[in-house]
A and B are shown apart, each in its own frame.
Chain A
Amino acid sequence: MTDVNDVPKVERPPGVPMSQWPSAYEYVLPTGAPGTVTLTIDGREVKAQTGDLLIKVAQDHGTYIPRFCYHERMKPVGMCRMCLVEVEGMRGMQISCATVVADGMVVHTQSDAARQAQDGVLELLLINHPLDCPVCDRGGECPLQDTTLAFGPGESRFVEEKRHWEKPIPISELVLLDRERCIQCGRCTRFADEIAGDALIAFGSRGAHTEVITFPGDPFTSYFSGNTVQICPVGALTATPYRFRARPWDLSAVETSCTTCSVHCRGALESSSNRLVRLLGVDSEPVNHGWLCDKGRFGYEVVHSEDRVRHPMVRKNGELVECSWPEALDVAAEGLKRALELNGPKSVALLGGARGTNEDAYVWARFAKGVVGTDNVDAQLGDGIPAEVALGLPEATIADLDRAAAIVVVGLDLKEEVPVLYLRVKRAAEELGVPLIELAPRDQGLTRYASTSIRSLPGEQGETARRLADALGGARGTDAGADAAAALLEGRAGDIVVVLGRGDLAESAASTVRAATELARLPQARFIVALRRGNVRGAMDLGLAPGFLPGRVTLDAGREWFGHAWGSVPATVGLDAEGILRAAEQGRIHALMLLGTDPHDDCPDHALAEGALNAAGFTIAIDAFVTDSTKRADVFLPVTMWGEKAGSVTNLEGRVQRVGQKVSPDGTAMPDWRIAAELALRLGVDFDLEQPEEVQDEIARVAPAYTGIDSTLLRRARDGAVAPVADHRDELVLGPVSIPLTDARWEPIRPGLDAVELEDAKTANDEADALRADRLTSVAQSAGAPPAPALHRFTGGVTDTAPPARDAYALRLVTGRTLYDGGITVAASDSLSELVADPVLLISPQDRDRIGVEDGAEVRVTSARGSLTLAVRADAAIGTGTAYLPFNLPGSGVSDLVDLSTAVTDLRVESLS
């Protein structure tokens, strides 16, 4: 593991003012395109782009101008006045955060006047600041401290009484506000308003009594509230999970990717005494712009949950009891062997794998398909999009959103499922003016930013998408909503980026597939398949999907290639999750491996999952927790979690990035992939894999879409690499292997790998070429290798069935994911588990009045499958004729209502009063 401490420190020459010290930023900030404007900063001539801000240009060229309110990802506001500089020919002092560079501009950041202004502003900022640094969480990494040391006057002349506030006050369940420490920079309020779109905090009062406030009865319940804590330049905002847990100088960090959802935001994971204590956002231009959602930021608590399984267990006398690893592995291998001998590979199935790394997925895929010989493998649970669609659509990257002709969001509520992708789409629509077309069964997070929203009842999504695709393709006049959407594209060139997901788990996946098929007819359509589960994309990419082998090739196309690489592959295409569960229910699955998955809670069809788990034969759980599913296992093999293992993951745009190991697990848990390798050994195949890097190199050699993405490239590619790398070579930014996470954590943290200097960009591309060429050669040169298989492409052709007519008394069920759900990440994190809402059935006000119930009343909800009693509330966001119930909320029981084999789920709602 490369650690932050390995990095050579920046040389800080004595006797030179701190502002002139060579800054870490010089190493990590890309210098951008060649400059067109020449200006002089402190006697040095520099080049910049027209329209650039002076503060940024100076920083890019090694002159750090002190600042508090300025943040690269937000609009300048000019509040703190810390960045005052002298510009020749301009009257008075200029704030460099709002001064646009001009040709011939002569700037002094260290003249007497500038220094006097810096001294003065700092003295003023400190007169009301409590200077309680010894008890402040920010102490030691505080921009106000650092800036005061570097630029301040050293002593205060203020002898009056300071301003007093009650400290601290909670502004949400997660965030506390200490108004005495606040320096009114407005970073938090601007973030909440501009970036998150949750303007729940604002300034109140005036003068020196200006304070950050929430509105009465309306706490700061933003999904993105943790970002305000990170960007606060003082200790005014603290988050409960980190508060008083550590001092900054005791922390060490590793750069990683958050795998809470499939966006994979860059982060710096910090620990103290082998305990994870904090995850900070790292600014990755192509992915997260430095932001994290609160679930991702605080979800690390799950790693240290008391309920973790620390040692392997086997079932003895009906009870799971702890045992040694050799015993557990032997029992597991024996169980598999017995099933294989008695019933053949088709009686063995593997569910899950979306929670692990790419290495986990690959080795398990190789184990299941190459050793066991079964293709009954699925990382999804009937709640996703079939791999043949998800892996075969023409792809768009997240950054493509910014330059799209239009964005079409189909189905899912991005804010709930993939929050930081929501921020990116919101930004593209709001700031960059990209038309946003929303196709969804109800009003949701993005609706307020949508240029046009097209509503469709569950089951009708495919048909709605057809009309939209027709209109976008030029055939107007059949649907006014679709025509309005098509009109938005007039005069706009470029791709249509479709963000495709499952907005309604009560509706058959066929509906989403049909929508994809329709939209894929458009030649300019490219897709981001937004499935939420952490590494579901990596799992599918690396073969944990029926009919697929690692590297996005189908079983048939890759048969020869993988036959050569692995020795053998399954003879026929296997079952998907729904098929596996049905087969299990009918007693045809004699060995079931549950790879970090919980069908009992996560499968939309609870009755099916329950039946399957009860009827399945020998069950092996590879998991970190005993869940409703894994408690039935015959062998329990505990695994390491995120933060406890190194590796790589692939996000929803196909970007492969590294995850880092920061702590070692309590107990004897092993990485998933190692368990697969151990089992393979017991089944007679030695994978000869010892380190995750070796797995990465094997993936790069044999998985066609991952060609070239080996451990060296992964270590050096600053923003990871989008697979297949040949198509995304221009986006590769390579650097030497080092991770200098900057001290100034409140700044947008820059990814650790040294960015290539501008002049070196070409070299970087050459290097990428060379890297790729190297790997390709090595594959081609291996003796007797067959030609590499072509990547799978989705050609459409899947049709959905028209949904049955809805009778006038029924409501059609919509069930979607919420951010804080019943999943283990939330349930086992102390801070997050408090945030889970009570399940309430939402219906339209019209339907509420028709049924004749009051808000909050109990109702009986009945589907063909089952029945529930729940509270009901009217919500104008819900369309008439539909009912919304969040999926997988403790107590919602929605999966009792859903039958995976039907196209839609209709409900009867009866008043109980």
Chain B
Amino acid sequence: MAVTETRIVTNRLREFTEDSWTIDRYLATGGYDMLRQALTMQPVQIQDEQVKASGLRGRGGAGFGTGQKWSFLPKGIYPRYLAVNGDEGEPSTFKDHMLIERDPHQIIEGVVISAFAIEAHIAFIYVRGEFALGIERLEQAVADAYAKGFIGKNILGSGFDLEVVVHRGAGAYIAGDETGLLSSLEGERAMPRIKPPFPAVQGLYAKPTVVNNVETMSTVPHILRMGGEEYAKLGVGRSTGTRIFSVSGHVARPGNYEVELGITFRQLIDELAGGVRGGKQMKFFIPGGASAPWLMPEHLDAPLDMDYVGSELKTMLGSGAIMVFDEDTNPALIAWRLLKFFAHESCGKCTPCREGSMWLEKVLFRISHGLGRPQDLDMMLSFGSTIVPGLNAPFSQTTICAMGPSTMSAVVSLDRFFREEILEMCNAGAARPTIPVTSA
């Protein structure tokens, strides 16, 4: 049985490729109807009966229950803020990019409904600075929404006020971390903050703050349209609804696919993305963005279920980005390239991540360029366990944010699946008389 996409969030942008981002198209396709409906409800109703009931989990990467996150806001402390995370920086992830460019009003509607539900009167949409077209369209959409009264004072006569601010990021990966994003919004250097206090208690400007992903926000209007319980019927187990997966790498049809959670990796990669291109065999794939530990072809029949992937496969669905590599790939080279990214993007705050990523990158450079030493892999695992104590999934961490352990995913995967291959490379490298001293 061939699977198909289940287009909920991406329906409009797939259907009306010419003008899906305009206010006219949005209104013509039932846009802002859910906002009208939401404004007649009690905020707590939206929180409990809709969002919590839908089982919606954050689409940014950590997969935390959205309704639950909202419920952590301490009672009676105002102002509260809603910050929307559109700083999609995870390598190989490109779903938010699409949503911002092609359906900005859907995000805005979700934002207004969510802000109403959590009683926030200012919402910030933090967009990755590189999304030039996305920002242009989002800003236009915000302006249109203001003009039509969907944002601003007394929205649609309900008495609810909301200001929406589009903030353009300055290009740091770490601004995609919840607290890094808040620091950046405050005008500081994007560096994650120690938790507790959690953002729900002391977030932006030390006030209670909810940080949600763009895709999460885009889903909220559909939960109201379908009803929370109805939405929860989609998906599998605690992974309800649909998710957009960005499939890239050596596949025939790379791209974003919105599918019901619970289908298998094989269905997604082979049936929707056309399988490995050029008739080659798959060597391995990365299931959840650059931060996720890798998987092998034997894992392809596992379901796209956040809990299953975490507990059984010791990795994560993360940001929903699947990278496929064919039989000709040198895994050490992939690991080095990923580490080059992490070493460059480490914010510099926590020692293990700052120094560790740099060290890993230098060692992986040598290994992948034929200059490894036999002890290098074990050495990386050894000093790497300062970043991830025990190296067991789920990764624990010695850093403030999850970027620290992310730097070890590739190395742990090399050890788990390609140990022999790496050692072989390293033994060859050991025959070389010298090792280079720089990789830049």
Contacts and interface: CB of A to CB of B under 8 A. Distances in A.
Interface of A: 76-82, 84, 91-93, 95, 98, 113, 116-117, 119-121, 123-125, 127-128, 157-161, 163, 183-184, 186, 202-203, 205-210
Nearest to B194: A78
A125 B359 contact: no
Contact of B344 (A80, A163, A184, A206): A206
Interface string B332-375: 00000000000111111111101111110011000000000000
Contact of A116 (B347, B354, B386): B386
14 contacts: A76-B194, A78-B350, A93-B389, A98-B194, A117-B398, A120-B383, A120-B398, A127-B355, A127-B359, A157-B379, A160-B363, A160-B439, A208-B343, A208-B348
Contacts of A161: 362, 437-438
A159 B366 CA distance: 11
Nearest to A210: B348
The 3 closest A-B pairs by CB, nearest first: A120-B386, A210-B348, A92-B396
A124 B349 CA distance: 13
A82 to B, nearest CB: 7
Binding site of A, secondary structure by majority: helix, strand, loop or mixed? loop
A160 B379 CA distance: 13
A640 B288 CA distance: 73
B189 interface: yes
B389 A121 contact: no
Contacts of A158: 359
A531 B386 CA distance: 54
B311 to A, nearest CB: 15
A98 to B, nearest CB: 5
Contacts of A207: 343-348, 354, 357-358
A540 B143 CA distance: 69
Nearest to A91: B396
A76 B352 CA distance: 18
Contact of B389 (A116, A123, A159, A210): A116
A123 B386 contact: yes
A472 B155 CA distance: 44
Given A207-B343, A207-B344, A93 B383 contact: no
Range of interface residues on chain B?
35 or more
A115 to B, nearest CB: 11
Contacts of B352: 81, 120-121, 124
Contacts of B437: 160-161
B435 interface: yes
Contact of A128 (B346, B355, B386, B397): B355
B430 interface: no
Contact of B194 (A77, A80, A123): A77
B385 interface: yes
B354 A184 contact: yes
Contact of A124 (B189, B355, B389): B355
A95 B389 contact: no
> Which of A119, A127, A202, A206 neighbours the largest number of chain B CB atoms within 10 Å of its CB?
A206
Name, among A79, A93, A127, A160, the residue most crowded by chain B CB atoms within 10 Å (CB to CB): A160
A245 to B, nearest CB: 31
Nearest to B343: A207
Contacts of B351: 79-82, 121, 124-125, 183-184
B376 to A, nearest CB: 10
Nearest to A159: B435
B172 interface: yes
A130 to B, nearest CB: 14
Nearest to A209: B348
Contacts of A77: 194, 349
Contact of B362 (A95, A98, A160, A202): A160
B398 A184 contact: no
B400 interface: yes
Contacts of B435: 159
B355 A81 contact: no
Contacts of A203: 189, 191, 348
A303 B400 CA distance: 48
Interface string B161-190: 000000000001000000000000000010
A125 B350 contact: no
Given A84-B398, A161-B362, 18 more contacts: A79-B350, A81-B350, A81-B351, A81-B399, A92-B396, A93-B389, A93-B398, A116-B385, A117-B398, A124-B351, A124-B356, A127-B358, A157-B382, A160-B362, A186-B349, A202-B189, A208-B346, A208-B354
Contacts of B359: 124, 127, 158, 160
Contacts of A93: 389, 396, 398
Contacts of B172: 206
A202 B190 CA distance: 12
A208 B348 CA distance: 6
B361 to A, nearest CB: 9
A95 B354 contact: no
Nearest to B386: A120
A124 B383 contact: yes
Interface string B403-440: 00000000000000000000000000000000101110
Contacts of A98: 194
A796 B138 CA distance: 67
Interface hub of B194, B347, B348 (most chain A Cβ within 10 A) = B348
A91 to B, nearest CB: 6
A117 B386 contact: yes
